[in-house]
Structure 1
Amino acid sequence: MGKRILITGGTKGIGLETVNQLIDRGHNIIVIGRDFSKFPFENSGQVKTIAFDVSKVEEIPALVSEIGEIDVLINNAGIAKAVSYFDYTPEQKEHIIKVNLDAPVTFIREVSRYFLKKGEGRVVNVASQAAQVGHPDIWYGITKAGLINATISFANLLGEKGIAVNAVAPGPVSTDMIKTAPPNKRLEQVLHRTYLGRAATAAEVAEVIVWLAAESPAYVNGEVININNGVQYVKNIL
């Protein structure tokens, strides 16, 4: 029987591929995104779309209440600013913290009300290798590190109640963000240090997310699965 799964940022990249794989496995998906103009599953009977900007954190409780009971939450929405730490404005810092950290924590808090009532539920957070090795976008790395901490903290709080909270931490993924980026020495060195000498595909990361969302054993809880093909640390290439 298919699960009812809520995913944020499901209109492109890893999120879109995750939606595709969840459809193939027979699940019913609620996709939150800002722009559905190029979304290919708009007419799928398994998919409901909600146009919403997750930076509007104060509106998330009402949104979750409107959506109602779900089985799984996938916190995928995230942004990077590609701004030097010298140049970050207070508004840019506030925005990235809201999207990458405040919003997913608020979604977990709100959906856990339903999970606690029925004694089960799953959360998958999409973090990043940047949380562990640093990133040129300082606040991107900081917020993703915070998301990993939130994953472990919520697993500690909710695990004994039958709720699994896990995360994935991908390295470089071949999405439009990388494909359209200018030459980058750090990225080249990261890719060179992988066993396969390439970035992950969105499908490869999505397979792990789907496994955690609907297929992994209940004992897998509070885990952070690194998807970086052997890259652990790249010295002085920030």
Structure 2
Amino acid sequence: MTSTTNVPRTALVTGAARGIGAAVARQLARDGLAVGVLDLDEADCAGTVRAIRDGGGSATAVGADVADEAAVTAAVARVAAELGPPTVLVNNAGVGPRAELVEMTTDQWDAVLGVNLRGPFLVTRAVAPYMIEAGWGRIVTMSSISAAGDAARVDYASAKAGLLGFTKSLALQLGRHGITANAIAPGFVVSDMTRTSARRLGLDFEEFKRSAAQSIPVGRVGQPEDIAHTASYLVSPGAGFVSGQVIYVAGGPVA
């Protein structure tokens, strides 16, 4: 198996323009990785890339719809050309609009599963050959505690549950190549998604967070950096015997 000292240290993080993805990208850059910062609009990635470069790191912005096969293929090839073959992948891009089942259209269902489930498949498929060639790789995919069921978002919950089977299957299939695959399932984390939820409920976001914190054993809501620190460990050389796992980062046990 390839020595980790000879492995290209390039990561690709999807949905990295803001929130959890941006925090993960910045953390991996601090860990010494060059980072491909991918989001739907390349211009939106500028802030994350600037923060990485200001800290002395290396990063490039890439725009692509993760549900678009041709766009994903081109984006991964560009990252490989500009930063080096990616051997670390964090599948973070996701959407989660709320819709009642009886009101949900097939287009809405397809759009949510396209980003949340098809996207990780397309990006992982495009990156995996670089990992196989290197004989080393780390894949981290963002699921959610919603994978256990979400009354407000059956499409989102279905996609996030699918990612658990996807992750475990990757671990079984790719382990012989020195590649690990794990999933992170965040609980309540400060993000655009939770801010949107508060607005839909007509609640002040600070009050929304305080209310959520009351049911979390550690007494606070999560921050994007909480997820970034977990991703940092899972993609490290030291996590080579951790694969096919779901790590709940939710401030307490999840039923």
Please give the TM-score of this superposition, normalised by the length of structure 1.
0.88
State whether residues 16 and 45 of structure 2, in contact with CA within 8 Å, keep that contact through their aligned partners in structure 1. no
Paired position in structure 1 for 2:219? 197
Secondary structure at the residue paired with 2:133? helix
Shift of 1:38: 6.9
Cα deviation for residue 140 of structure 1 reads 0.2
SS in 1 for 2:103: coil
SS at match of 1:81: coil
Map of 2:16 onto structure 1: 10
Q: What's the secondary structure of 1:65's corresponding residue? A: helix
Q: Does the 8 Å contact 2:190/2:222 carry over to 1?
A: yes
Q: Compute the displacement of 1:135 (Å).
A: 4.3
Residue pairs, 1:104-123, within 5 angstroms: 104-123=120-139
Equivalent of residue 60 in structure 2, options 48, 59, 76: 48
Q: For the residues of structure 2 that align with 1:140 and 1:21, how far apart are their CA atoms?
A: 27
The worse-fitting range, judged by mean Cα deviation, of 156-165 and 34-43 is 34-43
When you count helix as a share of all residues, which structure comes out higher? 2
Range with greater deviation from structure 2 (24-33 or 121-130): 24-33
* 2:236 counterpart of 1:209: no
Deviates more, 1:33-42 or 1:103-112: 33-42
Task: Summarize the Cα distance change of 1:122–1:32 in structure 2 as closer, same or farther, 3 Å threshold.
Answer: same
Q: 1:59 to 1:179 in 2, by over 3 A?
A: closer
Task: Write the letter of the residue equivalent to 2:30.
Answer: D
SS in 1 for 2:236: helix
Which amino acid counterpart does residue 51 of structure 1 have in structure 2? G
> Within 5 A, what are the aligned runs for 1:65-104?
65-68=77-80, 69-104=85-120
- Looking at structure 2, the residues matched to 55 and 210 of structure 1 have their Cα atoms a distance apart, in angstroms, of 25
Amino acid paired to 2:15: G
Aligned residue identity for 2:108: Q
Matches of 2:45 and 2:63, distance apart in 1:
13
Cα distance in structure 2, aligned partners of 1:219 and 1:213: 11
Aligned-pair distance for 1:51? Answer: 1.3
Tell me by how many angstroms 1:110 deviates.
1.9
Percent identity between matched residues is 29
C-alpha spacing 1:221/1:38, structure 2 compared with 1 (3 Å)? closer
Q: Shift in Å at residue 210 of structure 1?
A: 1.5
* Gap regions ≥5 residues in structure 1: 234-238
* Residues in 2 aligned to 1:122 and 1:176: alpha-carbon distance in whole angstroms: 27
Question: How many corresponding residue pairs?
Answer: 233
Q: Relative to structure 2, which stretch is displaced further, 44-53 or 9-18? A: 44-53
Backbone CA RMSD of aligned residues: 2.4
Question: Contact 1:5–1:70 at 8 Å: present in 2 too?
Answer: yes
